[in-house]
Homo-oligomer: A and B are copies of this chain.
Amino acid sequence: MGSSHQINITMRIWKSLPLFVVATSICLCFCRAEDSSMENIVTEKKAEESHRQDSADLLIFILLLTLTILTIWLFKHRRFRFLHETGLAMIYGLLVGVVLRYAIHLPSDMSNATLSCNVNASPATLLVNVSGKFYEYTLKGQIGANQVNNIQDNEMLRKVTFDPEVFFNILLPPIIFHAGYSLKRRHFFRNLGSILVYAFVGTVVSCFIIGLLMYGCVMLMKQIGQLDGEFFFTDCLFFGAIVSATDPVTVLAIFSELQVDADLYALLFGESVLNDAVAVVLSSSIVAYQPTGDNTHTFEGMAMLKSFGIFLGVFSGSFALGLATGVVTALVTKFTKLRDLPLLETALFFLMSWSTFLLAEACGFTGVVAVLFCGMTQAHYTFNNLSPESQDRTKQLFELLDFLAENFIFSYMGLTLFTFQNHIFNPLFIVGAFVAVFLGRAANIYPLSFLLNLGRRHKISPNFQHMMMFAGLRGAMTFALSIRDTATYARQMMFSTTLLVVFFTVWICGGGTTQMLSCQKIRVGVDTDQDHSIGPDGVDRRSTKQESVWLFRIWYNFDHNYLKPILTHSGPPLTTTLPACCGPLARCLTSTQAYENQGQLNDDDSDLILNDSDITLSYGDITVSTDASGAHTSGAPVGGMGMNSDDALDRELAFGDHELVIRGTRLVLPMDDSEPPLSLDSYRHRHKPETMS
């Protein structure tokens, strides 16, 4: 059983973190004798041996990742798009798994000699009196009677098996945070309504459809006697929840390489990111569904309601927490001028983002979900307060963590197909699961798209729908949720099946993305920002206006007039937006830069509209637009203070998006101790190299 030596295993995974980490098992056998005896030396030798073995094991994984990186480079170099890096990592993992399983036979480790004694309780700590000396033991978990012999076997396989919780608590958070932090906000907000519907309604629909279908499948299996253990309806629902979390990595990597239509990108990305969060909370609510009394595993209204309450509570709690720490970070970075020291700023940003996770876990919420919304808040507010250097640093740091964590998960996924020791592959269940996953995705996309199209101006075209259907890959989140608990028969069967679903979707759907795109005649090579400026300016804005729901519009106005000025250096000064009675508070909260922006421009829309190919400076009352060819066009006067928040929405989204798109551009900023340059100046500075190139 993979999780028997759990502590030992847990330690092994910590070592694979992006730090030079090792040597945990030394402490396992660290003897604390008062006098240094020969016995002590023997134990230390043993510990050293085990430590060396651990280092060697971990080295395998590092070399695996290194190999993956080199092959990815080769593929990208040769523009080979049929296999994405995640698929590749899985293949390498599979190969190593095969080698470990069939090629390497280690002599069984005799140090694990088991010793049974009958007692009446199972305390967390056990003191064993061995001929006068006390040894401390810790509880690792209960073991089925049939697995007692198993523990001594397969030492080698267990050595490369990590603790399941590790995936959920170490590797997922950076991935999810990065998703939130790198969200392309303009197109995300333009399609916010649709994304929310797909993510919330769609995931719940998909979960229940899959759960019901699988329950039917399980009933059938029971009828024909193919079911060797218990499989309850809640298990089926749980399976539905975990396989409803779609993973965007593979498809979106190809999308951004081919520059696929930005709206399709936003729909898929937004849905994938949010439905991960929904699926996590949904699955934990289903686990929490515990009907009272003896009739467990039957339907009960009260318990159902309680589960629903848990879902709402955990989701909104995590959401609020993520938002809160993001806001705190924004305030700290705004009021401390920490931007003079990018290292400190980056460290602070990192620690605050991490504390979101800890805070959520400490409060009993879901850290992963909190981290997602924290990432979004950081991108929306804090990012604007950071020094340009820190903006680069934080993006690059989380990009690296995301890359390493993702490839590690996928290569481990490949490995685990052979090294996991309790696989239950049931053909009927597997076929049922594939059908259910397909139907669940269809029941999510097509009906909801139909409903959404009733309200949308820009319809979601049928080929977009087919593409979304096709792009519903399952990845890291599904794996992490399914490996989290593999104790029961049902869970083991689910895990094995999930693994196959992930393999199939990543290899087949991921590999076929390019074909599917051309088959569906979806336009590629679209510049995200040119797309925005294709039509006459007014048309484009109108479409944004109509597609944004009124609720969002209210929020946007609130955000623009109050939140942005409070949390960042941009936006109109609070003194102009808050009622007069709040004057002193407003003066206190508004940064000097906001005043300067206003004084200089006499216009509260001091944010520039910047695209990759043209630069528009809002100066005074006229808009001077400089495109790449150097031609100057004089635009219509920009409106006064009261009526411009709608225009500002478009601008800001465009601007904010641009901020996040910039990659190869860096700027030279004098690193003196004086005040940082004004935001306008710094922006102009910043984009100078771009216009020159």
Contacts and interface: CB of A to CB of B under 8 A. Distances in A.
A522 interface: no
A303 interface: no
B70 A357 contact: no
Q: Which residue, of A20, A122, A128, has the highest number of chain B Cβ atoms within 10 A?
A: A20
Interface in A1-59: 1, 3-8, 10-11, 14, 17-24, 26-36, 41, 48, 51-53, 55-56, 58-59
B332 A70 contact: yes
A295 interface: no
A139 B133 CA distance: 13
Contact of A361 (B23, B32, B346, B393): B23
B134 A145 contact: yes
B69 A22 contact: no
A647 to B, nearest CB: 31
Interface string A106-129: 000001111111111111111111
Contacts of A405: 19
Interface string A313-327: 000000000000000
A465 to B, nearest CB: 32
Copies of this protein, total: 2
A628 interface: no
A115 B126 contact: yes
Interface residues of A, number: 151
26 contacts: A7-B138, A11-B11, A20-B357, A20-B367, A20-B371, A21-B170, A24-B163, A28-B124, A58-B358, A59-B355, A62-B355, A70-B332, A113-B121, A115-B119, A119-B129, A122-B130, A125-B151, A134-B145, A136-B139, A136-B151, A346-B400, A350-B400, A393-B400, A664-B669, A668-B692, A668-B693
A519 interface: no
A171 to B, nearest CB: 8
Interface stretch (A71-79, A203-211, A238-246, A427-435): A71-79
A141 B32 contact: yes
B128 A338 contact: no
Interface string A62-92: 1101100110110011000000000000000
Q: Which 8 pairs across A and B sit closest by C-beta, in order of nearness?
A: A666-B666, A20-B173, A14-B14, A137-B137, A55-B362, A55-B361, A668-B689, A23-B169
A234 B8 CA distance: 33
A32 B1 contact: yes
A123 B127 contact: no
Given A28-B124, A112-B123, A138-B140, 15 more contacts: A6-B30, A7-B27, A18-B350, A20-B177, A23-B165, A33-B142, A55-B359, A55-B361, A62-B354, A113-B123, A115-B127, A135-B143, A351-B404, A664-B668, A664-B670
Contacts of A29: 124, 139, 141
A104 to B, nearest CB: 16
A339 B4 CA distance: 43
A487 interface: yes
A168 interface: yes
Contacts of A290: 41
Contacts of A200: none
Contacts of A120: 130-131
A661 interface: no
A646 interface: no
Contacts of A667: 666, 689
A121 B115 contact: yes
Nearest to A49: B364
A585 interface: no
A23 B403 contact: no
A340 B77 contact: yes
A221 interface: no
A401 interface: yes
Contacts of A6: 27-28, 30
A129 B117 contact: yes
Contact of A343 (B351, B363, B400): B400
A63 B348 contact: no
Interface string A260-284: 0000000000000000000000000
A690 interface: yes
A100 interface: no
A136 to B, nearest CB: 4
Contact of A127 (B114, B363, B668): B114
A397 interface: yes
Interface string A163-187: 1110011100110010000000000
A530 interface: no
Contact of A357 (B22, B69, B168): B22
B3 A30 contact: yes
B136 A4 contact: yes
Contact of A135 (B1, B18, B122): B122
